[in-house]
A and B are shown apart, each in its own frame.
Chain A
């Protein structure tokens, strides 16, 4: 399997604080990778580095074999990376459908009917169709998270990056979200998913990495990782459902 994403020695620090410390990681085409770690471990920073929201101090990022380290966030998105934000970032003054249209036209490069059809299909899939004409600023938390996912999907990504998309959802909401993400994964999209809701995460991902203090401290098969001593120590008190 060729790898879709290769991180090589990514390092980023803000003053004396190192938020990414020599991070290296390979993601295979079609693979679903989970990322866990305590709060402030540098998970979202890793996303910001991969998507180009932040520039690394050292290291390189290759996406589909191409070095994208110096490309802007916008260029990386058009190349096929799409993300959801941990704190939802809707276009508040636009409707849900228009939010989706931004992704379909700007990121996926579609226009006219093709863009509209894609948006309608995705809204159906993410269960937001009944809110299509609602202003995004007036959505509930669950629907804002769904909108994040909707926009990312309308970008027609090859690599989908989800940042705590299940956080704050009820059990039922979480189940339907997991079902949607499994469908996306089954369609061949590579996924990187940061999540604190571990049981949701390991029901989807093929591999898990653990980050603490900006360093990768474990990498491997999800259930084995969760049982390892280091992870148990960090996640003391968090039980996993088998």
Chain B
């Protein structure tokens, strides 16, 4: 009798994943500038979706206010580079640290709320963030500001090098986020989190501190979301309160991605991101019809496949590309 945590599908996924990753790292040598921009955006959305999925799909924390951390991270990038004189790369890390620090008091406040009230609370919190940053005249107040040219130039010599660097940063954060989520969910704390997802009463009776587990997830998610936010606005080079704290861009689309792909799985956000960008790139010229199609797709998936596209695949083929669980393998001889 032995216990294993891998599968042959997962071993194949590692090989295929490594090949894709190498090809993506090499993109600056084979892709055009527009393609790299699109890929960069895909990676940042992938990171946001994986983080939202960790919170909503595993910790049961359905937040519609993650734009608070995206916007906060973006503004911290601007503030730390312009007023702090920090290099942009250091400022991105700084945005993560500050994101964690700000997440602590926010969590203490909104963790008093449950279910739908929690969701509304997170949204109100994001609006508070937006209103506060709209008051900071040093950062352009309500109309926003641009990242000064010398700070942009300080990143790398020449435009191609800067584009490549910002592409690699986006790819890097997506890989870091997915790896972090995977390793966390495989760890002892991740096992506790999955237990909480299934049954809070039993989890508490088996020694799991529910509040603390959720709190850690919320703070870490806040930190990483702030870093993604900093990267988003490093690409955009311009920030304003409405763009930074947009519920549509940073939460509604992200929820769409996770729900379509399959909430509560690591694979789901990856599939969902690909579907979302495929739809956007083919339909966005249609204007408002594009949003209606998105809504329609969301409704159909929720009715026909409540566990998302990956949920369908997994139910049919018992497939896990990121194996989190345990399998007991019984030897023939000691079966009876």
Contact = CB atoms under 8 A, between A and B. Distances in A.
Interface of A: 51, 53, 72-75, 77-78, 82-83, 85, 89-95, 97-98, 101-103, 105-107, 111, 116, 120, 129-130, 132-133, 151, 155
B207 to A, nearest CB: 4
A35 to B, nearest CB: 18
Contacts of B1: 120
Nearest to B197: A93
Interface in B196-220: 197-199, 201-210
Contacts of A74: 204-210
A89 B201 contact: yes
Contact of B194 (A73, A83, A94): A94
A85 B201 CA distance: 10
A97 B3 contact: yes
A139 to B, nearest CB: 14
B325 interface: yes
A89 B203 CA distance: 9
Contact of A106 (B188, B199, B325, B330): B188
B16 to A, nearest CB: 25
B36 to A, nearest CB: 39
Contact of A97 (B197, B210, B328): B328
**List of 5 A-B pairs having minimum Cβ-Cβ separation, nearest first:** A107-B207, A91-B198, A132-B328, A77-B207, A89-B202
A151 B191 CA distance: 14
A90 B199 CA distance: 7
A97 B2 CA distance: 12
A77 B188 contact: no
Nearest to A89: B202
B150 to A, nearest CB: 51
Contacts of A73: 204-205
Contact of B205 (A77, A111, A132): A77
Contacts of B194: 91, 93-94, 98
Contacts of A75: 207, 209
Contacts of A105: 188, 191-192
A75 B210 CA distance: 11
A116 B326 CA distance: 9
B114 interface: no
Given A120-B1, A133-B328, A94 B195 contact: yes
16 contacts: A72-B209, A90-B198, A91-B195, A94-B195, A94-B325, A95-B327, A98-B191, A103-B207, A105-B188, A106-B207, A107-B206, A116-B3, A116-B326, A129-B330, A133-B327, A133-B328
Interface in B279-336: 325-328, 330, 335
Interface in B1-34: 1, 3
